[in-house]
Amino acid sequence: MISASDFRNGVTFEMDGQVMQVVEFQHVKPGKGAAFVRTKMKNVITGAVTETSFNPTAKFENAYVERKDMEYSYNDGDLYYFMDMESFDMLPIGKDTLPDGFKFVKENMTCKVMSYKGKVFGVEPPNFVELEVTETDPGFKGDTATNVTKPATLETGAEIKVPLFISPGDKIRVDTRTGEYLERAKA
């Protein structure tokens, strides 16, 4: 059990059957009246953020969210299979559970699979990946305006904007959280 007075950023707890994570908290002691804890919390499964005030003595059940490194193996229709690197068991995860940034993940990359009481609710791809550009228009001599970009297709099929000097076959680094080009990969 955890009381509201013990809240810290990142603490996960169960409230009304939902798993919540503290994003921000503030202990408030007004001149008149009882103290309270103002909390901004995120529903770990749905991602919804809410703000609530609690009595500091309110008690909640601890929620242990398991974050396990698993290797993405392959997909079959709407099911994506991840391998547990310790037991070599395959875990199928539905397409609707995957984040937008998963389009940058290729086979054999390690991702964090998040679950609560054995139920998978999210997959966290690596923050940065190196991918090969498979298709893009050639940059023309004289196109030297700053920050000019062109569309490019990556080996995973994802499309992003890249600078004009990038050509097919180049390896680039991509931020999976924003979907932005970062730099050419070091050879």
The pLDDT of residue 31 is 86
The structure's pTM equals 0.70
Q: What is the per-residue pLDDT for 144?
A: 60
CATH of the domain at 115: 2.40.50.140
Question: How much is the pLDDT for 59?
Answer: 92
Residue-level pLDDT at 147: 72
Confidence category of residue 145, pLDDT binned at 50, 70, 90: low
Is residue 80 within 8 A of residue 61, CB to CB? The reply is: no
User: pLDDT tens digit string along 28-65?
Assistant: 888 888 889 999 998 887 778 899 998 889 899 888 88
Q: Are residues 33 and 83 in the same domain?
A: no
Q: Give the residue with greater pLDDT, 121 vs 54.
A: 54
**Domain finish residue from 42, 62, 82:** 62
CATH classification at residue 16: 2.30.30.30
In this predicted structure, the answer to whether residue 142 has a pLDDT above a threshold of 70 is: no
Same domain (yes/no): 22, 54:
yes
Percentage of the chain surpassing pLDDT 70? 95
- 109, 124, 139 — which closes off a domain? 124
Number of domains in the chain: 3
Rounded-to-integer distance, Cα 129 and Cα 61, Å? 37
The predicted pLDDT at position 186 comes to 76
pLDDT value of residue 173? 92
Residue 143 has pLDDT above 60, yes or no: no
Same domain, 49 and 7: yes
148 and 118 in a common domain: no
- Shared domain check, 56 and 9: yes
SS3 track for the chain: CEEHHHCCCCCEEEECCEEEEEEEEEEECCCCCCCEEEEEEEECCCCCEEEEEECCCCEEEECCEEEEEEEEEEEECCEEEEEECCCCCEEEEEHHHCCHHHHHCCCCCEEEEEEECCEEEEEECCCEEEEEEEEECCCCCCCCCCCCEEEEEECCCCEEEEECCCCCCCEEEEECCCCEEEEECCC
Q: Encode pLDDT of 82-109 as tens digits.
A: 998 889 889 888 888 888 888 999 999 9
28 and 70 belong to one structural domain? no
For residues 116 and 133, state if they share a domain.
Answer: no
Last residue of a domain, one of 124, 155, 171: 124
Burial of residue 175 (CB within 10 Å: 0-12, 13-18, 19+) is middle
Q: CA 67, 65, 7, 24 torsion: positive or negative?
A: positive
- The domain of 79 spans 65-124
What is the predicted pLDDT for the residue at 70?
92
